[in-house]
Structures are given as C-alpha cells and as structure tokens.
C-alpha cells in the first residue's frame, strides 16, 4: 500500500503529461486552421463568394420579380452594399497588417454610427406608431442602450452630443445618409419611373417621414464601418509614421466587446427578424444569411489579427499607431 501511495504522484504526473501531449496536436491543428483561414490569402475567398452570391440574388430577383411580388430589389441592393465596406476593410487589413494597431482606436466611431442607426429606427417607429411592432421597437431601444453603455463604460466615451459632432467623419456620413434618404424618396415621388412596381408606386405618392427615417437608418447601416476603413486607407499618407501591430490588452478587450455587440445586433437583423417575417421570401433570407456569414468571418479574422503576438518594425521601435498624431478625432 505504501508503495502504491508513493507511486501515485508519478501516475498523476504521467496522466497529466499524456493529456498535455494529446492537447498539443489538437491545439496545433486549431492554430493551423486559423492561420489558413485568417492568415493567408484564403481569407479573402469567402468574402468574395458571399459578395458574388448577393449580386446573383439581386440580379435574379430583378429579372424575375413580377408586379404582384414584394419589391425586394432595393432591399437586396442594400444588403450587397453593406458588404462592400467590410470587404474593403478586410482586404486592407490583410494586405497591410502593420495597420492593425489603428483599428481598436476608432471602433467607437462605428458604435456611434449604430447609435444613430438605432435612433433613426426608433424615431421612425414613434412617428408612425408602434402598433404591432412592439418587439422590433424594444429591440431597437435595447440596441441603442447597449451601444451607449459600451461607449460610456468600455470606451469611456463622453456622453455629450457636442463631443460626438467633433467626429467629422461620422457627422459627414450621417448627413450624407440622411440627405440620400430624402433624395431617394423625392426621386420616386417626383419622377415615378416606369420600372417601379405598382406596390412601390402606390407607396410613393407623398413624403412619408417614417419611411424617410427608416431609409436613412438603412443608409447609415451601409456606411457604418466606413470611418474605420477611412482610417486604414488614410494611413497610406504617412508611410513613415509609427504604425504597427502593437495592440494593448485594453484595445484587445475593446475589440472583443465591440464584436460581441455587432454579432448580437446583427443576429436580430439577419437571423431572428427575417426568420419571423421573411420565411416566404427565400431570396431575402439567403441575402441576410450571406451578410451575417460575412460579419462572422470578419469578426473571427479581426480577433485573430489582434490576438497575434506583438511584432515591431525595423530598429525595434515601439509601434503605437497613426492616430497618436490626431488625438482630437480618436475615441
């Protein structure tokens, strides 16, 4: 018995080493899969396929849509356009991975865009009357509160609209989206083009404020990621700047919280709401699924990039990111 007791630690250590040995190949396989999916040119294949799918869905619906069908061309076009900033973002970040340190610093701008997006939806519901859309109204309110809470307590972002409007890129995009929504409604009301379906023509007899607000929300959704994309492409103007792949622990946490919010937000937009309202429109369901898959792919890609070991450029300089020279416009 004494001999058995003396041997017990060795047995336990042996079992532990065996477990570690079994875990190492598994972890190595997972790392290799992640590297292939997010660290090589293969990472651009899925976004390309999803964009082509969305384009084919739009073309097919445009060719087959009848006068009695639900008008989906504009909706499918919105889904396709929403993909473009994400794809441009991923292509730039993959081709210039030394810019990854810029991104966590400006994620608050995309959160601001979602604050405006949710606010427009809420205002549209209030003006039109909530009626039977109580669940959708509640979800929009929850999205607005969640975005504000993350801005305040995670990013420590001032809750003053006067501070918000200092972010000129966000302000300009919101103005552009709002103006575009008004102009698109004016176009359909004034010109009444011949290719409009009868149902759309019937809805375009006068300006309808709730519809304009909801369209503005859709346009804000299309450009929601543009501030971050702009920052990455603006970095090309400062080739000698201290950009790099150094991402602080705090910035990594910001990125994880941000993408948790984005995935939750679009889980409603792309999965739950379509499943409740668009089951009879498979093309719309497929377009939403393609957009959500792109978001999941992008979130995985970005978390993979910021979680990689820190690297530095030549001369072993500490790389902090381009935005240090533009503090007034940072989060």
pLDDT band (50, 70, 90) for residue 326: very low
Residue 70 pLDDT exceeds 70: no
Alpha-carbon gap, residue 274 to 79, rounded angstroms: 13
Which DSSP symbol is given to 241?
Answer: S
With beta carbons less than 8 A apart as the criterion, state whether 263 and 288 touch. no
Greater model confidence, 165 or 20: 165
User: What would the mean pLDDT of 133-146 be, rounded to a whole number?
Assistant: 91
pLDDT at 189: 74
Q: What is the mean pLDDT of residues 127-152?
A: 89
| pLDDT above 80 (res 293) | yes
**What does residue 242 show for φ and ψ, rounded to 5 degrees?**
-85, 60
**224-230: average pLDDT:** 87
pLDDT of residue 322: 36
Over range 16-44, report the average pLDDT.
54
User: What whole-number distance in Å separates Cα of residue 120 and Cα of residue 118?
Assistant: 5
Q: What is the mean pLDDT of residues 72-90?
A: 87
Q: Residue 242 has what pLDDT? A: 45
- pLDDT for res 139: 93
Q: Give residue 331's pLDDT.
A: 67
Separation of alpha carbons 126 and 128, rounded Å: 6
Give yes or no for residue 61 having a pLDDT over 90.
no
Average the pLDDT over 1-28 and give the result: 49
Q: Are 230 and 184 in contact (CB under 8 A)?
A: no
pTM greater than 0.85 = no
228 or 258, which is more confident?
Answer: 258
Percent of residues, the chain, with pLDDT higher than 70: 67
Average pLDDT, the chain: 76
User: Which of 23-27, 84-88, 96-100, 263-267 shows the lowest per-residue confidence on average (mean pLDDT)?
Assistant: 23-27
Structure tokens at 259: 């993408």
Predicted pLDDT at 312: 39
Task: Give the per-residue pLDDT at 141.
Answer: 94
Q: DSSP letters along 14-34, please?
A: HHHHHHHHHHHHHHHHHHHHH
Q: What's the CA gap between 270 and 139, in Å, rounded?
A: 13
Give the pLDDT score at 248. Answer: 76
Query: Quick count: other Cβ atoms within 10 Å of Cβ 243?
Result: 23
Q: State yes or no: pLDDT of 54 exceeds 70.
A: yes
Using the predicted structure, report yes or no on whether residue 117 has a pLDDT greater than 90.
yes
Does pLDDT of 217 surpass 90?
yes
């Amino acid at each position: 018995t004494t001999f058995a007791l003396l041997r017990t630690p060795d047995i336990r250590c042996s079992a532990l080493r065996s477990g570690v040995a079994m875990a190492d190949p598994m972890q190595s396989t997972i790392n290799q899969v992640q590297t292939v999916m997010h660290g090589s040119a293969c990472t651009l294949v899925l976004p390309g396929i999803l964009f082509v799918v969305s384009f084919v869905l739009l073309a097919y619906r445009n060719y087959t849509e009848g006068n009695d069908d639900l008008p989906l061309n504009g909706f499918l076009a919105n889904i396709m356009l929403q993909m473009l900033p994400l794809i441009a973002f991923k292509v730039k970040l993959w081709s210039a991975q030394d810019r990854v340190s810029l991104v966590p610093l400006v994620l608050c701008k995309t959160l601001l865009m979602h604050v405006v997006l949710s606010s427009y939806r809420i205002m549209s519901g209030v003006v039109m009357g909530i009626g039977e859309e109580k669940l959708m109204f509640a979800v929009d309110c929850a999205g607005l509160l969640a975005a504000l809470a993350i801005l305040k307590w995670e990013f420590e972002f001032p809750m003053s609209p006067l501070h918000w409007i200092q972010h000129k890129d966000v302000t300009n995009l919101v103005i552009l989206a709002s103006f575009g929504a008004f102009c698109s409604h004016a176009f359909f009301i004034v010109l009444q083009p011949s290719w409009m379906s009868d149902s759309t023509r019937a809805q375009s007899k006068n300006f309808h404020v709730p519809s304009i607000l909801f369209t503005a929300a859709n346009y804000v959704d299309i450009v929601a990621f543009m501030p971050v994309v702009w920052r990455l492409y603006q970095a090309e103007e400062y080739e000698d700047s201290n950009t790099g792949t150094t991402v602080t622990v705090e910035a990594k946490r910001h990125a994880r919280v941000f993408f948790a919010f984005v995935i939750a937000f679009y889980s409603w937009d792309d999965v739950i709401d379509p499943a409740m309202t668009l089951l009879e429109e498979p093309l719309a369901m497929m377009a939403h699924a393609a957009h959500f898959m792109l978001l999941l792919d992008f979130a995985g890609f970005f978390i993979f990039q910021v979680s990689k070991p820190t690297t530095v450029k030549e001369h072993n300089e500490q790389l902090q990111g381009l935005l240090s020279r533009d503090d007034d416009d940072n989060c």
